Amino acid sequence: MGRLGDFLEKFYAGVKPFHSVHAVVEHHWRKSPGNSPRRGGIGKEIKTNKRKNVRRELIEIWATMPDSVRVDVTRKVEGTDTTRTDIFDGEQQRRRTCNGDVEVQPVEERRERLDENLPTEYRRHFGPGLIREFFRDLYLEEIGKTEVAGRECIRIRGVPVPGDMLWPHWLSKSADEFKFSADLTRPALLSIHAFLNGKTIEKYEVAEIEYDKPIEASVFTCEPMAGGTVKTAQQIFEQVTLEAAVDRVPFTVLCPAKSVDARWNLQVVHYHFARGKDPEHLTLHFFPSNLTDDKTLWMRLEAGEDDEEHRDLEWEKIRLDGRLFKLSDPGTPSGTRILVFEQDGTHASIYSSGARSDLLDFAVSLEAVS
């Protein structure tokens, strides 16, 4: 059957991979539209020193079966190391944020499998359920052997199948190729490299790993840091009606006129709570009336422009009907264009894989919802 077949059999046989694991993972990625949640990029990247766009973080993982997992994620913010801690113990999920607060929330009972509640940073390397999801959407081939963190591994190349359903928080959605280093004796991925046009855009590399060593119970507890508090985790967003959104936000809600509604149907409206530097905002998601059309379009509305999200993009100014629009176009067939503008005191950002003419037609049709 070969080494690849033997490795895959471990995942599908349902055998428990270990009693405990402790690992340190180095994560590097490019913070740019070239490594965006859409294959082909979102917006046009500013041509600059690409070294400055490389981001790094250190991920430390502890796990004791069946359901105790801790993940610490450390990265530099303005020259200072900051650490976020996530702990799952089967009944509660606790997060110690970078400001020292501990947020507590119950486990989601609606999840079909227990491991779906575990942190993605753990499941990406050691969760058979999630790794099976990866492999379902990739063409796989064995490309040799290697060693990672002192463990013998097989190397696996994966190419996304047409219409793949890989979520961007699992693996890089913009990658057109992946290379994995899979532990020969355990169902685990010890390195994951993502490529676009032959260039590495993201990589996870296990630097240290120990299986089946005792882990103190105290590892799976966390207290607030000095000045921090314990509180119930804040909801990130909720689905609302368009009418409820109008009553809820302090800015004008915009929606296309009926003439454009014939081409785009409003599918869902999400209200996003203010969280950290991200202000409260709305996202409106649309789908084409023509069911054979695979184009996407969604819109973000807020009181002011999100400079952080757009600062790495190159913009083209467009004047239309006496108004100023800014367009960032990746110039690729599969890319997503961004159009930003102000209307009635609201800052709007429209994201679409459609033609720029259709995007501008949509924008000029927007009107205030009363």
| Model confidence pLDDT, tens digit, residues 286-335 | 988 776 677 789 999 999 876 556 677 889 999 988 899 999 988 877 67
User: Is residue 260 within 8 Å of 362, Cβ to Cβ?
Assistant: yes
CATH number assigned to the domain covering 237-368: 3.30.200.100
pLDDT digits (tens, 9 = 90+) for 196-240: 889 899 999 999 999 999 999 999 888 887 777 777 767 788 999
pLDDT at position 98 is 73
Structural domain spans, the chain: 2-232, 237-368
Residue type at 140? L
Q: What angle do CA 29, 32, 37 make, to 5 degrees?
A: 80
pLDDT digits (tens, 9 = 90+) for 331-361: 877 678 999 999 999 999 999 988 888 899 9
pTM score, two decimals? 0.73
H or E segment and range at residue 348: strand 346-352
Q: Show Cβ contacts of residue 221 under 8 Å, excluding neighbours closer than 6 positions.
A: 87
- Is the domain 2-232 a CATH 1.10.260.40 member? no
Least confident stretch, 98-112, 175-189, 294-308: 98-112
Integer-rounded Cα radius of gyration of the chain: 23
More confident residue, 143 or 38: 143
User: Is residue 254 within 8 Å of 218, Cβ to Cβ?
Assistant: no
pLDDT at position 229 is 76
| Mean pLDDT for all residues in the chain | 83
Rounded-to-integer distance, Cα 312 and Cα 31, Å: 9
Average pLDDT over residues 95-111: 69
pLDDT at position 45 is 66
Q: Which two tokens stand for residue 227?
A: 């000045």
pLDDT digits (tens, 9 = 90+) for 252-270: 999 987 655 567 888 899 9
More confident residue, 21 or 110: 21
As a three-state string, the secondary structure of 7-55 is HHHHHHCCCCCCCEEEEEEEEEEECCHHHCCCCCCECEECCCCHHHHEE
Q: Say yes or no: do domains 2-232 and 237-368 share a fold.
A: no
Helical axes 128-136 vs 2-12, angle rounded to 10°: 130
DSSP states of 155-199:
EEEEEEPTT----TTTS-TT-SEEEEEEESSSS-EEEEEEEETTE
Quick one: pLDDT band at residue 38, thresholds 50, 70, 90?
Answer: very low
Rounded-to-integer distance, Cα 254 and Cα 284, Å: 9
